[in-house]
Structure 1
């Protein structure tokens, strides 16, 4: 059946998931609803335990929703699983591979799972685009962790799915792989592929995703264009500096600290004056003091602390 131009690439409709553990019921997802449009580069963000992986597992057919409906380009992932799965390419968090195959053999077998013959041209393009051309005949056991992750991406794309799901694809990988991956995936997105990304690297989401959903405790807290989310913080400047000393408790409670780098929200001039006064009173030795615009991580932390849907 031909697809309607109005068909969402991915649609989550009132999706809930409940687990029973040790006699207690855990609500992993609670009425999650949103659509991802064809051609979008969409970000799904949230802290650990927010429900992101559960939602992806339901989308991929690895788990069943307790209630609600999920579709991929109109195909229901439960009642029309085969069609939905052909339209979907999923790159999982875990490194899963067959140790007995070479890289090229793994991609050929993956093509066969979808009934695709004569796929060598696309396999060669994947190998070149993901920096795997010189590893095509290497056994999977011989590859580094980063190279194995590249193969997982190639396997997810080998049947040319219109919807690509990347579940923490750059976790623990080097800068070169990140650049190679995003260059290749962004090229596919420009050609019309829909991309759903989950990541803890919020700078990636800010740079790549046109729209973002934020989850907490199985519920959607925010669903906006990335530019709109960032505008929420447009009046909330951030005071950044470096220090080796502990912050006063009142400031520590609102600070974002990365090593020596401290970031404190200063929404207006009065807040800036108060913060600087507290730092002087505490006698902190600080370096590289600057005021800058809040970023997506600042917005994310603010929403997670508030915990109220927007």
Structure 2
């Protein structure tokens, strides 16, 4: 076997694609339709929040950040998949592969941080309503949104800087998109630092946010059980879509991490591909639908905007 170091590996081959004949055009239309729906739903809600001054509140600004993040994450996945579905060559240059890793990983980390910030906002609004305005100031809102975007960027730059120089014995990634763990597995050199940093990154960006969210919602649940009917209704109307979004994304991420590391060969290839795409497609598609239907202020403003366009 010829040993290929990092300077020789100028491209990677995405090995999960296979020849589907004329069905490729059907798959292309399905993926394209999903992408268009994701863009349409998220752009609509971003416009609704930006245009209506009544929605310029912390909760809706955090939601806007969440929708922008989902557009951003989708842009790192769908265009490349659409190209490869119609192409006979499934190679991707190393710089483009690492760019896709950067976008997808910052999206995933940013999604958890956005959801954690939103849970903190709901905790203050429901558990400390009298102190909410004094604690959730415009400056604090700007700071929290900045952290949800800056931290993932810094964390993933470090991750890529550790992975890119590795000497590799091959260039075949058995996925339909580039993944950092898949590249590290190709390494012939010592990956101890990568593994330690990867574990730290997973703890901080994937495990800690859900733990914090569970803590805040335990507090919210306690207040709801002891509060009046109006408090319970307010909590249900604002927290139900948030909880559904957290459960959906956490399930997708946890399944992907466990499957890629421990159960790589236990699933049929097609099911493996579909599940690896789950958290990258379902979250950006269903989150705006959940919030658009469950939150009355957003739903009313969406109807007004769509009716005005007609």
Q: Shared fold (TM-score greater than 0.5)?
A: no
- Between Structure 1 and Structure 2, the one with more helix by share is 2
- Shorter-chain-normalised TM-score: which range? under 0.3
TM-score normalised according to structure 2 size: 0.24
Q: Which has the larger Rg?
A: 1
Task: Compare relative contact order (CA 8 Å, sep 6+) and give the higher one, 1 or 2.
Answer: 2
TM-score normalised according to structure 1 size: 0.24
